[in-house]
Chains A and B, each alone.
Chain A
C-alpha cells in the first residue's frame, strides 16, 4: 500500500520523511496539487456502486484503493500551476482531488477539514482551555475601546496576527509584539486584532506531537524577548521531557481537533515554569527542531504514515 505525500517540490523538510519512507521500504507518491492538471493526472469512476480511482505523476500510478495514508504537508492550491489558472479551475480541481481522496479509507495527517478549523486561533484558545492547558487572556476585537480596556487591565499585552498570515505584498513579517502603553487603538476598527496577555518567559517550548508520540524541545529566551522566532539569541533547541499533565492535555486537544499531527508552542513562564499555551500549528515545521535536538521527528512521521489502515 502507498503513502501519498501532498507538498511542494521545494519542501526539503518533506524530503526528510520521504527518505525515511524509502528506508522503511514503503511505496509513496509525492506531488503538488498545484501541478494538477498537467504533471499530475487523475481519474475516478463510480459505476454501479463500484468506486475506482487513479492518480499518476512522474511515471507512477497509484490506485486510491491502495492508499494507506495521505500526508497533507505543504501543498499548493489545486491547479495553481495550470497553463491558464482560474478560480473556477482551482475549485473544480480541488473538489475532484480531495473528493476522490475522501472516498478512501486512508488515514490523514491531517484531514483538510480538521486542518482548516484547527488553524483558527480563536477556536484554538477554547479547545486549549477545555483540554486543560493554561491559556493567556486573549481578545480578538474590532472595538478600539475594548482593546484599550484589555491593555489597561493586563498592562503588558502583545498583538499578533489572527490568521497567522503576513500583511502586504510583498509580504511583511508580523512578529508577536508588545503593545506600547501609549498605543493608539483606533486602527483596531480597521481589522480584527488579536491581543494577548504577555507572559514573561524564560524559554520557548515547541512540542511536536505525532500520533501518540510527543517530543518537546526548549530554547532559552533572552530577558524581555517576545517572539522566539525573531532575533538570534545564540541558544539552540534542547530536548526536554514532556510533563504528564501536558501530554494528557495534548492528547485531549488533538482528539477534540481530529489531528494526527500538531506542533504546539508554549511560553515557559519566568516565575513559575508553567507552560502557557500559545498556539497549535496543525502543519507546523519540525525540521529545525530535529536538526538541533536529534529527536527522530521525521522517522516518527514516516512510521505513522507507514502504518496500515486500521
Chain B
C-alpha cells in the first residue's frame, strides 16, 4: 500500500476533529496545606468539604483534553 510519502504536507487525520479545550471554570481559591497533606479553602476548611463547588467546577470530572492528566 502507498500513501506514506506526503505526510509532511498533511496534518494528522484526527486533528480535523479537535476543538478548543473548554476553559476551566473559576474556582474558589484553595491551596495545599503540607501539614494536613490536603488542600484547604481560604477559610482553612478542607476543600473536599465543599462538594458543590467541586462538582460545579469539574475538578474531578473525567474529560479528554486536560492539560495535565493523560489518563482520565
Contacts and interface: CB of A to CB of B under 8 A. Distances in A.
DSSP majority for the A interface?
A: mixed
Given A119-B71, A173-B19, A175-B19, A288 B62 contact: yes
Which of B13, B18, B47, B54 has the most CB atoms of chain A within a 10 A radius of its CB? B13
Contacts of A183: 16
Contact of A190 (B7, B46, B47, B64): B7
Given A12-B39, A15-B39, A166-B21, A185 B1 contact: no
Nearest to B48: A15
A119 B12 CA distance: 21
- The B contact surface, by secondary structure, is loop
A12 B3 contact: no
Given A30-B37, A146-B1, A174-B17, A190 B60 contact: no
Contacts of A13: 59-60
B39 A170 contact: no
Interface residues of B, number: 47
B22 interface: yes
Contacts of B65: 166, 171-174
Given A12-B59, A172-B21, A167 B13 contact: no
Interface residues of A, number: 65
A194 B51 CA distance: 36
A186 B48 CA distance: 48
Given A172-B18, A172-B21, 9 more contacts: A15-B38, A166-B65, A173-B19, A189-B6, A285-B61, A285-B69, A286-B60, A291-B55, A292-B55
21 contacts: A5-B37, A15-B46, A74-B69, A143-B3, A164-B70, A166-B64, A167-B12, A167-B15, A171-B66, A172-B18, A172-B19, A173-B21, A175-B64, A190-B7, A190-B12, A190-B13, A191-B13, A191-B14, A287-B61, A288-B60, A291-B51
Interface of B: 1, 3-7, 10-22, 30, 32, 34-35, 37-39, 46-48, 51, 54-55, 58-72
